[in-house]
Amino acid sequence: MVQSLDRSQGRAGGISVGSSDAPTFTGNKALQIEEPLIFEMGQPGRCAVDLPEPPKVKDRLNGLRRAGEVGLPGLSEPQVVQHYTRLSQKNYAIDMGVYPLGSCTMKHNPRINEKVARLAGIGDLHPLQPISTVQGALELIDSLAHWLKTLTGMPAVAMSPAAGAHGEMCGMMAIAAALEAKGERAKRRIVLAPESAHGTNPATAAALGFTVKPIPANERGRVDLAALKSALGPEVAAIMLTNPNTCGLFESEIIEISKAVHEAGAYFYCDGANFNAIVGRVRPGDLGVDCMHINLHKTFSTPHGGGGPGAGPVVLSAALAPYAPYPWIVKQGDAWTVAEDGAKVDGKPLGRLKAFHGQMGMFTRALAYIMSHGADGLKQAAEDAVLSANYVMAALKDVMTPAFEGPCMHEALFDDSFLKDTGVSTLDFAKAMIDEGYHPMTMYFPLVVHGAMLIEPTESQAKEDLDLFIAAMRSLTERAKSGTAAEDFKAAPRYSPRRRLDETLAARKPILRWRPSNSPPGGDPMRQAAE
Amino acid sequence: MRYLPLTDVDRRDMLARIGAKSVDELFRDVPPSARLGAKVAGLPDHQGELEVERAFQAFAAKNVSPAAAPFFIGAGAYRHHVPATVDYMIQRGEFLTSYTPYQPEITQGTLQYLFEFQTQVTLLTGMEVANASMYDGSTGAAEAVLMANRVTRRHKALISGGLHPHYRGVIQTAARWEGFDAKVGKPDVEGLEDLIASIDKETSCVVVQNPSFFGHVRDFAKLAEACHAAGALLIVVVTEVVSLGLIKPPGEMGADIVVCEGQSIGNGLGFGGPYVGLFATREKYMRQMPGRLVGETVDADGKRGFVLTLSTREQHIRREKATSNICTNAGLCALAFTVHLTLLGEAGFRRLAELNHAKASQLADLLAAVPGVTMLNQSFFNEFTVRLPKPAAPVVEALAAKRILGGLPVSRLIPDDPSVANLLLLAATETATEVGMAPLVAGLKEVL
């Protein structure tokens, strides 16, 4: 039984000696080391690199030499290694276990991807080397492009967007460009998006000057086709739709939707965040999609890296392909070339979205993943992802409350009605999962489901690990429903490197950088407390 | 299929628990006309690690790596030595395979290094606040213009002819589709451009680069004053962030927003990405910033900790009213930057900058002695422009045939402008050697 913390006494003071929360002299707890900021560690005279004395030359800086110190701390190499290793141990990660963060596809990140991205002939290339010296790099990009086009059944792909949201920008700009070419850009100012859409969808449309109109969902969690049809008209530029949608459901009327959209003269933007559920089994091109971004960091396993970098290539229909942004990688005879800004191509590029040629490091990793899986393995991965989500759904549906009737695709969505009158919120429940050794699922998204809990196990978890996760979730629901554990849940997490953090304070009095004045002398406050 | 843990027995048991006869039943919402019976046609099946690695070695063998040739290309991407510790650290699974730190209790590692990163960026740029990074410098520059438009409620940006042409292109693309004016100066080959006279009461911002695309080091203090007098913001772009170890930071020149490409610290060339954009501004504009921000707070036990903050600016909360549609930063590249800069420290960073300047000076002196080569820069950091007696593009190709990567012909990025056809942009970092400079000089003498 978890010992409840006496919050009235604050800090660790309410814990009896002998409990797991007993204070230590250093403030550390075995492998959990309290770690100061680098700015609190440095000493003048320490340096972790050995660089030669620069040759004496005449200064050619136009008299603009930097005066005074930059203010960087000096550390030795072992200190730097220890510091960042300790920090790393305060993170949860896919490499540690189940990471069921819905909508994020936290699948295994294979290390061969990292290895091949670091080959000198790939990782150590300048983007503006003579084209004749980077033929292999261009071939690599085109190989990935070929896979993406074939898997989606689309004729073209813009490779340069740096992330999913950047891909959305690219796709919606292509739609704006196509409308402009038809002389309709001024009159088609409305973009339709379901209320359950990712926040990036309305943000992207609004940035491009479109007015976003929400379309409602039906009781099955899908787009209400009748409502959509009545919203369509000569002022509508596009619909932005995620499929499988953010409720983890396949839009079963998708073909009717795309038909209606096209008949109204609008375009169909598909948010491909959830492509992992259908890759190898469904080609978005067969659904009438005009463009779709692919998050290489979701479906194709490039590492999430603590929030990036990502990559968001956009596949384009024949109607939008001419507007793909620079650069275009083109094969001329046996040689590859790059059509850069201003170059004549068979189209009217919408411009340039990013310096150079895109996220090459991510292309390499994604291609290594794709080649490892092959056409057969990608299909199996999608099926296993869907199977795992349905398994979790089936195993929890009697104790939690599924938001919609099944089957789901790659993620299982629950609402918080099973927590009604328990005093435990979705947030509390999520934080309690942390104490059980799990990263919480996505919570409070999609917005259309009350207290949403979106669980995406992915295909990467063994059945026995899913079974333990399910057992832990069942145990938590039991405790929550016992009616006596609300305070326990509110106090969670207890065993993580930090307990709940005061986000209101952070936003009310923002401290976005270290300054000598906001650091207590001697470093970390916890060290002080221990002394 | 080494990445898939489920066995056929597992799959059968799981289907039984679900109450489905086959996995096809789970896909029953897919319209029949869109169901692929078999796998996607025309693509190969799975392969072992050995076969995959061989395929990538074959790609690599068709490229000429700077590791194998005298190398002098910069133009927004710089080849520096990255200490082994950096790559080791970013490959730790706890960093590599973690997501955006939405659950701060179990992502303090990411949050603390981003807080360190934000602080480092403010110190380098001489600014007050910085965000947790952008996709790269070029997209950061476009976001800076959009931010200036929000702050000033104006819609006219003035773009220096000394700005990297790709950055200019990204801003122009945003201008075209997001609806604002971007007035672009002529290529500022000599570094003498004066934008002050072009500022008016409708100008939202002026975007300059230091050192400029052509390598010139400029003082923008007077330009900053003129911007502020007209109610506009000064945006300073730095594509070679190592220069900030030697050159007066933009914050001390009066910049309102500073955007840097951070690739030079910690991140390899990588054929152009992923890189890491640094974005810094004044405290008074903090709430107009795009991107993620990490802030300090305390936890329930009163211990210091870090969280993502001011998220009411962002798309997942504000949706169509967000300051930007961005939700990704360049987390792992930011970690590489932070680890490398921590290894360098004050002394190492300054010495690295000195070394770059010295190497470029040596190269400049050697090239100035080549007949027909004219140096265009009075000032530079580690990169400068020379005028050749003939078009630079074929010269660079001829050097490449000798396995010398001898700079960037400016015409590649500024096509259709005869005035830049003969210009060659060259960079020398600490990785350049005198042994490598000799073949470049000899090669140029032969080719010219």
CA–CA gap between residue A470 and residue B19 (Å, rounded): 17
Cβ separation B297–A307 shorter than 8 A: no
**pLDDT of res. A519:** 64
Q: What is the DSSP annotation of A337-394?
A: EEE-TT---SS----BSSSTTS-HHHHHHHHHHHHHHHHHHHHHHHHHHHHHHHHHHH
CATH class of A114-370: alpha beta
User: Number of Cβ pairs closer than 8 Å across A and B?
Assistant: 727
Question: B55: which chain A residues are within 8 Å (Cβ-Cβ)?
Answer: 371
Phi, psi of A46 (to 5 degrees): -95, 140
For residue A528, give both structure tokens.
């002080």
Inter-residue contact A155 to A161 (CB < 8 Å): no
CA torsion A180-A183-A185-A189 (nearest 10°) is -160
Spatial CA neighbour of B212 closest among B223, B201, B202: B223
Domain annotation for chain B: domains and CATH numbers: 66-82+346-447 (3.90.1150.10), 84-339 (3.40.640.10)
Of B31, B139, B169, the CB nearest to A255: B31
Q: What is the mean pLDDT of residues B16-43?
A: 94
Question: A388: which chain B residues are within 8 Å (Cβ-Cβ)?
Answer: 6, 14
CA distances from A91 to A331, B101, B370 (A): 44, 9, 55
**pLDDT of res. B38:** 84
Cβ separation A340–B415 shorter than 8 A: yes
Per-residue pLDDT reduced to its tens digit, A209-226:
999 999 999 999 999 999
**pLDDT of res. A8:** 35
Question: For residue A183, is pLDDT > 50?
Answer: yes
Confidence of residue A525 (pLDDT cuts 50, 70, 90): very low
Segment (H or E) for B425: strand B423-427
CA A117 to chain centroid, in Å, comes to: 21
pTM to 2 decimal places:
0.96
Question: For residue A2, is pLDDT > 70?
Answer: no
Per-residue pLDDT reduced to its tens digit, A111-165:
999 999 999 999 999 999 999 999 999 999 999 999 999 999 999 999 999 999 9
Spatial CA neighbour of B382 closest among A60, A62, A127, A72: A60
How many other C-beta atoms are found inside a 10 Å radius of the C-beta of residue A182?
Answer: 11
Segment (H or E) for B443: helix B434-447
Question: B314: which chain A residues are within 8 Å (Cβ-Cβ)?
Answer: 199
Per-residue pLDDT reduced to its tens digit, A263-276:
999 999 999 999 99
Taking each helix axis as running N to C, give the angle between helix B8-18 and helix A360-396, from 0 to 180 degrees, rounded to the nearest 10. 50
Write a three-state SS string for B371-403. Answer: CCCEECCCCCCCEEEEECCCCHHHHHHHHHHCC
CATH class of A376-497: alpha beta
Cβ separation B40–A375 shorter than 8 A: yes
| Choice among A451-460, B18-27, B390-399, B427-436 with the minimum mean pLDDT | B427-436
Cβ separation A208–B108 shorter than 8 A: no
Inter-residue contact B404 to B443 (CB < 8 Å): yes
Spatial CA neighbour of A154 closest among A145, A162, A163: A145
**pLDDT of res. A223:** 95
Q: What is the mean pLDDT of residues A475-495?
A: 96
CA–CA gap between residue A516 and residue A251 (Å, rounded): 55
Cβ separation A514–B329 shorter than 8 A: no
Domain ranges of chain A: 114-370, 376-497
Cβ separation A282–B116 shorter than 8 A: no
Question: For residue B318, is pLDDT > 90?
Answer: no
Work out the mean pLDDT of chain B and round it to a whole number. 96
Question: B93: which chain A residues are within 8 Å (Cβ-Cβ)?
Answer: 93-96, 109
**pLDDT of res. B234:** 98
What's the distance, Cα to Cα, between the start and end of chain B in Å? 56
CA–CA gap between residue B397 and residue B24 (Å, rounded): 55
CA–CA gap between residue A495 and residue A441 (Å, rounded): 18
CA–CA gap between residue A428 and residue A132 (Å, rounded): 58
- CB of B404 less than 8 A from some CB of A: no
Q: What is the mean pLDDT of residues B87-101?
A: 97
**pLDDT of res. A520:** 55
Q: What is the mean pLDDT of residues B304-324?
A: 82
Per-residue pLDDT reduced to its tens digit, A279-326:
999 999 999 999 999 999 999 999 999 999 999 999 999 999 999 999
Question: B305: which chain A residues are within 8 Å (Cβ-Cβ)?
Answer: 498, 501
Segment (H or E) for B158: strand B156-159
- Please name every residue paired with A329 in a beta bridge, in sequence order, or none if there are none: A338
Confidence of residue A524 (pLDDT cuts 50, 70, 90): very low
Confidence of residue B313 (pLDDT cuts 50, 70, 90): confident
CA–CA gap between residue A363 and residue A357 (Å, rounded): 11
Cβ separation B296–A379 shorter than 8 A: no
DSSP 8-state class, residue A336: E
Question: For residue A5, is pLDDT > 70?
Answer: no
What one-letter code names the amino acid at B90? I
- The ipTM of this complex is 0.97
Q: Can you say whether the dihedral through the CA atoms of A493, A498, A499, A505 is positive or negative? A: negative
**pLDDT of res. B320:** 76
Question: For residue A249, is pLDDT > 70?
Answer: yes
Cβ separation B99–A304 shorter than 8 A: yes
CA–CA gap between residue B62 and residue A135 (Å, rounded): 6
3-state helix, strand, coil in chain B (%, to 5): 45, 15, 40
CA–CA gap between residue A315 and residue A312 (Å, rounded): 10
Inter-residue contact A431 to A500 (CB < 8 Å): yes
Per-residue pLDDT reduced to its tens digit, A233-247:
999 999 999 999 999
